[in-house]
Amino acid sequence: MKVIDYVKDSFTEFKDHVTWPTWASLQQDTVIVAIATAILALFLYAVDSLFGNVVIKNLFELLR
């Protein structure tokens, strides 16, 4: 049966051939991703606020 063989081979692949990260490495990578996400969020907030203010000011001037 192809499906059963596929599941068995997948299990063997995960068990024997995948290199899982250590707990310390996983924690370090998580901190890096969290910091990068926060920096990106702040940058996008600043850009959105800047463009929002520019568009709103120009839109009000056009409507006068």
Can you tell me the distance from the alpha carbon of 50 to that of 58, in angstroms, rounded to the nearest whole number? 12
Domain count, the chain: 1
The pLDDT score that the predictor gives to residue 57 is 80
Residue 10 domain-assigned? no
Whether pLDDT at 60 is above 80:
no
Residue 4 domain-assigned? no
Residue 2 domain-assigned? no
**Tokens 């910091």, residue?**
35
User: What's the whole-number average pLDDT of the chain?
Assistant: 92
- Which tokens go with 18? 């995948």
Residue 50 domain-assigned? yes
Residue 13 domain-assigned? no
Which pTM does this prediction carry? 0.65
* Domain hosting residue 28, numbered range: 21-64
Residue 62 domain-assigned? yes
The pLDDT score that the predictor gives to residue 59 is 78
Whether pLDDT at 40 is above 90:
yes
The DSSP annotation for 8-61 comes to HHHHHIIIII--PPPHHHHHHHHHHHHHHHHHHHHHHHHHHHHHHHHHHHHHHH
Residue 7 domain-assigned? no
- Which tokens go with 2? 């192809």
Interval 4-33: pLDDT, tens: 999 999 999 998 998 989 999 999 999 999
Residue 16 domain-assigned? no
